[in-house]
Structure 1
Amino acid sequence: MRPLVDLVLVAAFLVLFVLTVRAEPRRWLTGVVLAGALWAATTALGASPLVLPWVGSAVLGLLFLGNGLRMLSAAGRNSINAVALVLGLAMLAATALAIGLFPTSTSREAVIAVVVLLLPGYPGLVLVSYVLYCLAYLRRGPRPAPAAVIVLGSGLVDGTVPTLLANRLDASAETWRGERALGHDPLVVASGGQGDDEPMAEGVAMTAYLVAHGVPPEALATEDRSTTTEENLLLSREILRARGLDDTGHLRVVTSNYHVGRAALLTRRLQLDADVTGAPTAWAFLPGAFLREFLAALTLHPRVNLAGLGVWIAGTAFLAYAVLPR
């Protein structure tokens, strides 16, 4: 009977996912619903309901650990890298302890395993939901004929465009050429301000790169004041408004593939009608970059995450009260 109930839950979650994506694909809720379907599917197959939290917490712990080790080797010792290492080790240790205790015969030890998993389990599940949201969004094809293409900047290296940023610019140039071939003429906005260690604004270098790669100057606009992704979008919108393009159709935002999920969340928050597409990223850079994006995305929903953590804690406390012998 239990597997049947779980299968019904899987079907219900998948239907809810389809309805949610159709209503608005730029919502983290799509990943939460998919995580619910995955959770129900694992229990339908006879696995413990703690398998998904275990996997999520282990992956998150490995990301913290790997990022800390990578940054230590590249940038030397500092407090941020040390915190990443400690968090990674703590999450992996807690997960290993929980897995080791849970299969034991006593209910007391099983509950201890659940309680030990409390701290890493919730962020692990949140990571799973965010990964699923990003994958679902990346699989969507963007709408044709955008009014403008906004390419988001990233840091320059010695005043030149590095590979990461070049991939974004190449993707935006390819988008522009594809639209021109279909008879459309979108404006391309190169968006990026000047960092303390940069000799020029990123937007200026990006514009020069696009001109050098065949995009005519009259098809380009430069935004050179932004310092964050949100400012990229807001200041680019100001340029579009000044040119009368802010209400002439949807936008295409081009960034790196690891950045697509958070950028899409921000376009929705800022009420921009936009599709976000991603350019490739080197595999060695991807885990650390995605971890930083995940942590930044968490700050977009502080109340929701606090509420979710409260539910997780309450559920754990109830389980401990119900199962532990008195």
Structure 2
Amino acid sequence: MLYFIASIPLLFLILFLISYLQDPRKLINGLLFNGFLITFFFFCAFFYIYIDGPYQYLVLAFPLILLIVLIPFGVLALIAGLFYNAKVLREKEGKRFRNSLTLMMAIVILALIIINIVNPEQFFPEYLQPLFGGAGLVVVYVLLHMFNFLTAYGLNQWNRPKRDQDFIIVLGSGLINDRVPPLLASRIDKAIDFYHRQKEVSAPPKIIFSGGQGPDEGISEAEAMQSYAVEKGIPIEDTIQENKSVSTYENMRFSKKIMDNMNGEGNYHSIFATNNFHLFRAGIYARKAGLDSQGIGSKTAFYYWPNAMVREYIAVVVMGRRRHFLIVSCIMGFSLLLAIISYLFT
């Protein structure tokens, strides 16, 4: 029995290592790693009981009591932190919709707590209870998916590309008055730093500046980024413009065409430079474009990070919208079926 239980976390660990070493950009890495941690915790608890360890009930009960006490305070701290972050972000970055995501998230969490306290099920007929149960399962599914995303995102941050790259793709993020703003400058600076570090040990890579021209921009992002890098001391012969793309996916796809034309299809090593919060999603787009490229991320101001992470999560959900729609539809469809059966036999 003990060996069987021990084999479960071991299986999760092996599957995680295979998946992560094969491709750190996969969302399933978070699921497998979380599966390993949870099953390993239960194995440790079972093993402690199995060997009849001293004070076993106290030892096992302590982390559970700690969780019961800390979770409510943690949720309240999270809500307060999200409200405060929304205030700071709107003051520093302006009162635009995309800067209000942490505010919206705080309101949603607060609403879910109030709904749980009020318990609206009591105001509806008993045969509708399965629908409330289904809605609860959807919330659990979203929370688990979000947790897996955060884990996969964190694991992806540990990836360190080798200094043997042929190309660095710098992803555009928009210009302000036809000049490179601080957010985009940090991406270019990250690429420049890698360029110099690789140059110390081998031939320097070519830097591809990827970004088209917006309707309110006098020049393309690629041109502005190239000028910024040349001013920072990068030889212009080591820079390339990709000035057609208007999205992260096009950044990857159009840059791949340039690299394929220069070195032959797939006959090169490449990485991309972006902000650290954008690494995971950009990596997914790179895989979709057929690039075996990992990312290097520039640091992001702490006040900007929570809102950016919410935006990244929403974008990842949208990328898998068909799968999520199918899962949620199955849950609510089955709940509706149970409600109809309950109504007919009540």
TM-score, normalisation: structure 1: 0.77
User: Judging changes above 3 Å, is the alpha-carbon distance between structure 1 residues 13 and 180 closer, same or farther for their aligned structure 2 residues?
Assistant: same
Q: CA deviation at 1:206?
A: 0.4
What are the ranges of 5 or more consecutive residues in structure 2 without an aligned counterpart? 46-59, 120-125, 340-345
DSSP-derived class of the 1:299 partner: helix
> What does 1:183-262 correspond to in 2, within 5 Å?
183-244=202-263, 246-262=265-281
2:99 and 2:307 in contact (8 A); partners too? no
Letter in 2 for 1:16: L
Letter in 1 for 2:224: A
Q: Deviations over 1:239-279 (max 9, x none)?
A: 22332354322211111100000011111112112111111
DSSP-derived class of the 1:243 partner: helix
> What does 1:32-111 correspond to in 2, within 5 Å?
32-40=31-39, 47=64, 75-76=94-95, 85=103, 88-95=106-113, 98=116
Distance across 1 between alignment mates of 2:26 and 2:32: 11
Q: CA deviation at 1:180?
A: 1.8
Distance across 2 between alignment mates of 1:27 and 1:202: 29
Letter in 2 for 1:213: K
Letter in 1 for 2:112: A
The number of residues matched between the two structures is 311
DSSP-derived class of the 2:153 partner: helix
Please tell me whether residue 29 in structure 1 is matched to residue 28 in structure 2: yes
User: Judging changes above 3 Å, is the alpha-carbon distance between structure 1 residues 176 and 83 closer, same or farther for their aligned structure 2 residues?
Assistant: closer
Distance across 1 between alignment mates of 2:33 and 2:26: 12
Q: Deviations over 1:112-147 (max 9, x none)?
A: 997664343222211111111111111022133112
Distance across 1 between alignment mates of 2:214 and 2:78: 30
User: Judging changes above 3 Å, is the alpha-carbon distance between structure 1 residues 259 and 306 closer, same or farther for their aligned structure 2 residues?
Assistant: same
Q: Deviations over 1:156-205 (max 9, x none)?
A: 22222122111111111111112222222321101111223333211111
Could you tell which deviates more after superposition, 36-45 or 24-33? Answer: 36-45
Q: CA deviation at 1:314?
A: 8.4
Distance across 1 between alignment mates of 2:115 and 2:7: 32
Distance across 1 between alignment mates of 2:73 and 2:272: 32
Match of residue 288 from structure 1? 307
Q: Deviations over 1:47-75 (max 9, x none)?
A: 49x98x99999899789867766676665
Cα RMSD of the aligned pairs, angstroms, is 4.3
Distance across 2 between alignment mates of 1:151 and 1:42: 41
Please tell me whether residue 270 in structure 1 is matched to residue 269 in structure 2: no
Distance across 1 between alignment mates of 2:338 and 2:33: 25
Q: Give the counterpart of 1:159 among 166, 174, 178.
A: 178
Distance across 1 between alignment mates of 2:249 and 2:112: 36
2:102 and 2:306 in contact (8 A); partners too? no
Distance across 2 between alignment mates of 1:212 and 1:201: 17
Distance across 1 between alignment mates of 2:156 and 2:96: 37
Q: Deviations over 1:185-242 (max 9, x none)?
A: 3211011112233332111110001101111000000111211100111111222233
Task: Quote the sequence identity (%).
Answer: 27
Could you tell which deviates more after superposition, 30-39 or 280-289? Answer: 30-39
1:57 and 1:125 in contact (8 A); partners too? no
Could you tell which deviates more after superposition, 217-226 or 4-13? Answer: 4-13
Q: CA deviation at 1:82?
A: 8.0
DSSP-derived class of the 1:297 partner: helix
Q: CA deviation at 1:83?
A: 8.6
DSSP-derived class of the 1:173 partner: helix
DSSP-derived class of the 2:24 partner: coil
User: Judging changes above 3 Å, is the alpha-carbon distance between structure 1 residues 76 and 286 closer, same or farther for their aligned structure 2 residues?
Assistant: closer
Could you tell which deviates more after superposition, 230-239 or 253-262? Answer: 230-239
What are the ranges of 5 or more consecutive residues in structure 1 without an aligned counterpart? 102-107, 321-325
Match of residue 323 from structure 1? none
Distance across 2 between alignment mates of 1:308 and 1:119: 9
TM-score, normalisation: structure 2: 0.73
